[in-house]
Amino acid sequence: MPAVPASIPTSLKLPSALKLQLEEDAKQMGMSLHAFMVSTLAEAAQRKRLRQTFAQDSADALAVMKATGKGHALDDVRLYFSQLKEHRQGKSAPPATLQPKKMG
């Protein structure tokens, strides 16, 4: 199997105003323009993948809810996460696991 290069050169033409903004942002972060752009592109690609995963997980959960007729009421979910926050702050015991209920 051929070796994959660590990096591949590419050319990117930027509008001058954007390049100036990026240079300023990179400077504020203490990074070179190149490192800042690579980091920013990597973060954008990761966010895209996370959105795709979230959308798929949501669609799967909806399909299960439609198939079983069971789900979680919004007020129950809000209470659970409120209790979880307090637990993580050391203020309470962990909340009880949410159990799906018949919806509708």
Which tens digits make up the pLDDT trace of 66-102?
A: 999 999 999 999 999 999 999 999 999 999 999 999 9
The per-residue pLDDT for 5 is 81
- Are residues 100 and 70 in contact, defined by beta-carbon separation less than 8 angstroms? yes
40, two tokens: 């920013």
What is the pTM assigned to this prediction?
0.68
Task: Give the integer Cα–Cα distance in Å for 19 and 87.
Answer: 45
Whether pLDDT at 27 is above 80: yes
Among the listed residues 28, 56, 31, the one whose alpha carbon sits nearest the alpha carbon of residue 42: 31
Q: Where would I find the H helices in the chain?
A: 16-29, 33-68, 74-88
Bridge partners of 102?
70
Which tens digits make up the pLDDT trace of 1-24?
A: 778 788 899 999 999 999 999 999
The per-residue pLDDT for 60 is 97
